[in-house]
């Protein structure tokens, strides 16, 4: 059974209070970096895996995409996507991304934002995606950084007075399930190494075009906790082209 | 002034006692992974940056390389290389790698093992290397992993009883000088992010073919401390082709 905390009403409500939920792309600390990695959407067919509120689907549509499919496991997220980010060229589909089936070469562009760390079996998924993307097509995704996922708690290590000492790394090569508390709820995520994230792409006919660990933008540095984001990488952004 | 601890007699003597110094490639925990990344050396021109004792130069020569240049900043290391790893096709050169000059397209293969983290200016060096390698040529190198270099001390975080708790990460986005104690001596190393390591390659006409965080081989797991090497990545191995 694939976990779906986003359909948990309490979790869903808390998620709605995050900057990225209220403000969309402009509220997401990594958007300034991700936006630069995106290809020209004009006339393109686009798939967004784990689309959530649909911000990236709407962005693709607004930038000329011919047809966009946004897929998410959570119907509640898709209901919000339909309210906030509907567009004639965008279709939202409720499904776990591992269960999706598409035709070979169906898409010019596949996107995924902060969703693959919820997926247990990454390599079969990448193999599937590689068949869905046309030769020359783009694959751009973000995940939580292996540094951020390895220990498990996704929290800093503090001294007795509650001051941050550093960020802990452990069990790095033990890939698999971690339970972190996110928005006050236990959430299952999957840690995998950088070797695995990159290797599956190289082994499935992708060439890496960009690999970015985004830093918070200067304009967000005054938000609570944001300066600490300079102390360890939280996200990994990868851009690739299907050969 | 580029630091050269390897010409410090005390440091040099301690280095000589390491497994990798006594046993060569078979004593290096990452060799089993690095070896698989190496291209066919037959008839090739090879450059090894920071060659140390010259194990990789000798390996290239033994595997058919036509001409190998091993460069190192330490004359003492090169004296040992000449004793242990001389070969008719290998020439050892004493120079800091940042000061080397070669002709455009001079090499088929450029190697570097655990040396770039001693170099302050990585990006200009990669730019130079990109001109030295022929189109279609290979560039394979290992460095200390950004997880290992970010905090600075390169040591575990322990509890009061001396038990390892985890490995600390901090100051990740502050690239630059770190002073670690290695073999009992203070050594200057340079931390840089994964973004920087990979980005300089992509920006200088390389395509990434392999990115590996090597785990210790099973046959070394019983050596003191080796099981802890599964808890955090210490090295990053990158293979690239010049386009």
Average confidence (pLDDT) over A196-218: 96
Q: What residues have CB less than 8 Å from B229, skipping those under 6 apart?
A: B29, B215, B216
DSSP per-residue string spanning A101-116: ---TT-EEEEEEES-G
At B202-243, the pLDDT tens digits run: 999 999 999 999 998 888 888 888 899 999 999 999 999 999
Average confidence (pLDDT) over B192-204: 98
**CA geometry: angle A100, A106, A109, nearest 5 deg:** 90
Average confidence (pLDDT) over B193-206: 98
CB-based contact B54:B35 (threshold 8 Å): no
Query: What band does A220 get if pLDDT is binned at 50, 70 and 90?
Result: confident
Mean pLDDT score across all residues of chain A: 96
Residues of A numbered 161-180 whose beta carbons fall under 8 angstroms of chain B's beta carbons: which are they? Answer: 165-174
By the CB < 8 Å criterion, does B208 face chain A? yes
Q: Taking Cα atoms as reference points, which of A34, A48, A198, A25 lies closest to residue A108? A: A48
The whole-angstrom separation of Cα B122 and Cα B130 is 12
**Chain A neighbors of B193, CB-CB under 8 A:** 213, 233
Q: What residues have CB less than 8 Å from A20, skipping those under 6 apart?
A: A27, A28, A29
Given a cut of 70, whether residue B126 has pLDDT beyond it is: yes
For the question of an ipTM over 0.90, the answer is: yes
**CA geometry: angle B72, B76, B79, nearest 5 deg:** 90
Count CB neighbours of A34 within 10 A.
Answer: 23
A and B: number of Cβ contacts within 8 A: 109
At A25-61, the pLDDT tens digits run: 999 999 999 999 999 999 999 999 999 999 999 999 9
By the CB < 8 Å criterion, does A227 face chain B? no
Given a cut of 80, whether residue A1 has pLDDT beyond it is: no
Given a cut of 70, whether residue A192 has pLDDT beyond it is: yes
**Cβ A232–B170 below 8 Å, yes or no?**
yes
Given a cut of 70, whether residue B1 has pLDDT beyond it is: no
Q: Please report the pLDDT score of residue A3 as a whole number.
A: 85
Given a cut of 90, whether residue B198 has pLDDT beyond it is: yes
């Amino acid at each position: 059974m694939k976990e779906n905390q986003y359909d948990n009403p309490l979790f869903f409500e808390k998620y709605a209070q995050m900057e990225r939920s209220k403000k969309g792309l402009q509220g997401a600390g990594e958007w300034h970096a991700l936006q630069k990695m995106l290809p020209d959407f004009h006339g393109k067919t686009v798939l967004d895996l784990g689309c959530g509120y649909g911000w990236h689907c709407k962005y693709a549509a607004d930038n000329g995409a011919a047809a966009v499919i946004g897929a998410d496991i959570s119907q509640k997220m898709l209901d919000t996507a339909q309210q906030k980010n509907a567009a004639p060229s965008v279709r939202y589909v409720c499904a776990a991304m591992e269960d999706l089936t598409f035709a070979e070469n169906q898409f010019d562009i596949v996107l995924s934002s902060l969703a693959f760390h919820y997926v247990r079996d990454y390599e079969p998924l990448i193999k599937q995606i590689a068949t869905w993307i046309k030769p020359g097509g783009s694959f751009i995704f973000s995940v939580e950084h292996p540094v951020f996922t390895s220990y498990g708690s996704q929290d800093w290590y503090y001294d007795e007075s509650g001051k941050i000492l550093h960020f802990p790394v452990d069990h790095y090569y033990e890939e698999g399930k971690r339970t972190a508390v996110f928005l006050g709820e236990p959430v299952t995520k999957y840690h995998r190494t950088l070797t695995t994230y990159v290797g599956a792409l190289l082994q499935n006919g992708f060439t890496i075009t960009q690999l970015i660990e985004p830093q918070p933008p200067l304009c967000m540095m005054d938000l609570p906790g944001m300066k600490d984001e300079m102390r360890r990488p939280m996200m990994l952004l990868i851009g690739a082209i299907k050969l």
